[in-house]
Amino acid sequence: MGETPTSNFVLIIKHDTENIECQQRNITENSAIYSPSRFWACFLRCKMQRLGASKIVQIDFMPKEQVTYSKETQTPVASDQPEGKELFYLYLIINMDIQLNSGFTHETNLEEENAQEAEEGKKNHNQPRELTNEEKEQIIHSEDFLFFFDQSIRVMERVLAEDTDIFFDYSGRDMEDKEGDMQAGSNLSFNRHFYDEHWSKHRVVTSLDWSPQYPELLVASYNTNEDAPHEPDGVVLVWNMKYKKTTPEYIFHCQSSVMSVGFAQFHPNLVIGGTYSGQIALWDNRSHRRTPVQRTPLSATAHTHPVYCVNVVGTQNANNLITVSTDGKMCSWSLDMLSQPQESMELIYNKSKPVAVTCMAFPASDVNNYVVGSEEGTVYTASRHGSKAGIGEMFDGHQGPVTGISCHNAVGPVDFSHLFTTSSFDWTVKLWSTKHNKPLYSFEDNADYVYDVMWSPVHPALFATVDGNGRLDLWNLNNYTEVPSASVTVEGGCALNRVRWASGGREVAVGDSEGRVWIYDVGEQLAVSHTDDWSKFARTLMEIRANRGDGEEEGALELPA
């Protein structure tokens, strides 16, 4: 009915016995007497008793609590409802506030303050606070910043070096003459050179290697800079062929001159270097440190003489790092643990004296047998394991220290893996087979020390040589054996120390004695092999052998295969 229940009260009325009946009759008319009919009925049923005064007890009965649920579902109520409530309360508070503080002035004050704050905030946003010099220095020296800087500068340099003009208008302007070699058909043309003013000046390029995973990356090692004694003695730079930027991708250095360097074949991030002190250093391009992440100890178990040869042989799962130093010690390492070699061996010929190894080469896909060249001018075969572990046969022919050795590694229908070439201080390059202990042929076109030789990775009859006159020669034995098929003298005429073919066989990298690395493109006719080149080379070999057989040399032996 909508009426809220009110508390009931009981009133005890004093009566005379005589007046009861009268009162009884008057109960309906007299509304002033508030008493429940039930009570009255009880009273009537009881015997007439004498009434007396008693104490008034006031009892309050609370209204019965009605428990109701206003929610119809289990899901929570939409969020605007509480907000609405909040707003509602807020409104109330504000109102109260206003009322309490005789409000209009207060309200406007608040508004003004808010507006001011907002403006200030905006100003702050426009003018960032200045950092003090100390703060800036601190930031610049932090690890995070250096890492960011290294990465961004690398990307930025690549972008800056690209100088293509996307807006070039062919109709409105004159076509400038295209710079560069128009010798598209020439056999050997200059592509670019790599040189760093700071790191490669006054240093000799001691070794080069192309990356097996990224064909555009080339690593070059340099020895001491005599003019800068405070700079690190050994420098290794990784250059990138893909971009036009002229600075190295990665710069590594160590305390001793690096004599040989190579990418770890099965670990794309590692660069291995053999140094003058006999230590092997390992650099990782994932860390932004320039110093080696791992180094072998300088102990008698490892090398104590300069390491001129480092080579990773094996397969993805089972690979070893083979290093040989000039005291004839060969060590085999695991790249995970460079604290001690897995095995080491003294290369001794005929049980007399150790071989002073200057260069080493493994034939293609051979992990056990290899060939080494020595300071005395003799070449030896050697093997790592087996009954004949150690030095095997001796190959005599050169009259000066052997500077470079290369095994035939082009894969094709005919197997020439028994062939290798050597270069020496005696101005000649000789072609050998592991089956004969005398050279098959001697190439005598050079007029200075020949510093390095390398077979082409794709063409069976092609190899490159470099000498002290700055000459880079390409010999194609299917064309001529007397003279090189292509020859170029490097600008400046500095002695060239190293030559390396790129894995595709189309580019040749040459390192000189002034710290420059020159990249030459080899023309298609010369570099690319045809299917008949193999059979042609087999015939050439037979001719060479036949010619040699005519002039039978003393002591020539046919060696067991």
Partner 1 sequence: MAEVEETIKRIQSQKGVQGIIIVNAEGIPIKSTLDNSSTVQYAGNVHQLLLKARGMVRDIDPQNDLTFLRVRSKKNEIMIAPDKDYFLIVIQNPTE
x-or-dash string of contact with partner 1, 501-540, rule CB under 8 A: ----------------------------------------
391 exposure class (CB count in 10 Å sphere: 0-12, 13-18, 19+): buried
Q: % helix / strand / coil in the chain, to the nearest 5? A: 20, 30, 50
**Residues near 413 by Cβ (< 8 Å), separated by ≥ 6?**
531, 534, 535
If the CB atoms of residues 146 and 447 are measured against partner 1, the closer one turns out to be: 146
In whole angstroms, the minimum distance from the beta carbon of 288 to partner 1 comes to 11
Q: What distance in Å separates the CA atoms of residue 542 and residue 547, rounded to the nearest whole number?
A: 9
Query: What SS3 class is residue 275?
Result: strand
What is the Cα 2 distance to its own chain's centre? 81
If the CB atoms of residues 10 and 160 are measured against partner 1, the closer one turns out to be: 160
If the CB atoms of residues 169 and 558 are measured against partner 1, the closer one turns out to be: 169
Piece in contact with partner 1 (CB under 8 A), picked from 138-146, 420-428, 447-455, 517-525: 138-146
Tokens of 400: 């000066």
If the CB atoms of residues 155 and 546 are measured against partner 1, the closer one turns out to be: 155
If the CB atoms of residues 91 and 145 are measured against partner 1, the closer one turns out to be: 145
Q: Is residue 289 near partner 1 by the rule CB under 8 A? A: no
In whole angstroms, the minimum distance from the beta carbon of 169 to partner 1 comes to 12
Residues 25, 85, 106, 136: which binds partner 1 (CB under 8 A)?
Answer: 136
Residues 72, 130, 226, 552: which binds partner 1 (CB under 8 A)?
Answer: 130
**What is the size of the binding site for partner 1 (CB under 8 A)?**
28
Interface positions, 452-511, toward partner 1 (CB under 8 A): none
Q: What distance in Å separates the CA atoms of residue 181 and residue 190, rounded to the nearest whole number?
A: 8
In whole angstroms, the minimum distance from the beta carbon of 253 to partner 1 comes to 12
Count CB-CB contacts under 10 A for residue 380.
Answer: 20
In whole angstroms, the minimum distance from the beta carbon of 164 to partner 1 comes to 9
x-or-dash string of contact with partner 1, 186-205, rule CB under 8 A: ------------x-------
Q: What distance in Å separates the CA atoms of residue 421 and residue 436, rounded to the nearest whole number?
A: 13
Q: Is residue 141 near partner 1 by the rule CB under 8 A? A: yes
Query: What SS3 class is residue 450?
Result: strand
x-or-dash string of contact with partner 1, 364-403, rule CB under 8 A: ----------------------------------------
Piece in contact with partner 1 (CB under 8 A), picked from 76-84, 86-94, 141-149, 373-381: 141-149
If the CB atoms of residues 9 and 149 are measured against partner 1, the closer one turns out to be: 149
Q: Is residue 228 near partner 1 by the rule CB under 8 A? A: no
Q: Is residue 175 near partner 1 by the rule CB under 8 A? A: no
Tokens of 206: 């001691």
In whole angstroms, the minimum distance from the beta carbon of 127 to partner 1 comes to 8
In whole angstroms, the minimum distance from the beta carbon of 287 to partner 1 comes to 16
Residues 48, 87, 115, 131: which binds partner 1 (CB under 8 A)?
Answer: 131
**Residues near 45 by Cβ (< 8 Å), separated by ≥ 6?**
none
In whole angstroms, the minimum distance from the beta carbon of 459 to partner 1 comes to 39
Among the listed residues 514, 442, 500, 504, the one whose alpha carbon sits nearest the alpha carbon of residue 472: 500
For residue 560, what are the CA distances in angstroms to 108, 310, 435? 109, 28, 6
If the CB atoms of residues 155 and 561 are measured against partner 1, the closer one turns out to be: 155
Could you give phi then psi for residue 120, rounded to 5 degrees? Answer: -60, -40
Among the listed residues 99, 92, 155, 218, the one whose alpha carbon sits nearest the alpha carbon of residue 518: 218
Query: What SS3 class is residue 98?
Result: helix
Among the listed residues 273, 253, 275, 276, the one whose alpha carbon sits nearest the alpha carbon of residue 261: 273
Q: Is residue 128 near partner 1 by the rule CB under 8 A? A: yes
Half-sphere exposure of 543 (CA within 13 A, CB side): 10
If the CB atoms of residues 21 and 169 are measured against partner 1, the closer one turns out to be: 169
Q: What distance in Å separates the CA atoms of residue 463 and residue 450, rounded to the nearest whole number?
A: 13
In whole angstroms, the minimum distance from the beta carbon of 166 to partner 1 comes to 8
In whole angstroms, the minimum distance from the beta carbon of 200 to partner 1 comes to 15
Q: Is residue 110 near partner 1 by the rule CB under 8 A? A: no
Q: Is residue 126 near partner 1 by the rule CB under 8 A? A: yes
Interface positions, 143-172, toward partner 1 (CB under 8 A): 144-146, 148-149, 151-153, 155-157, 159-160, 163, 165-166
Interface positions, 246-265, toward partner 1 (CB under 8 A): 247
If the CB atoms of residues 100 and 160 are measured against partner 1, the closer one turns out to be: 160
Strands of 326-470 (E only): list them.
Answer: 329-333, 343-346, 348-349, 353-354, 357-361, 369-374, 379-383, 390-395, 402-407, 419-424, 429-433, 441-443, 450-455, 462-467
Place of tokens 């289990």: 74
Q: What distance in Å separates the CA atoms of residue 135 and residue 119, rounded to the nearest whole number?
A: 28
Using CB under 8 A, list all residues that contact partner 1: 126-131, 136, 139-141, 144-146, 148-149, 151-153, 155-157, 159-160, 163, 165-166, 198, 247
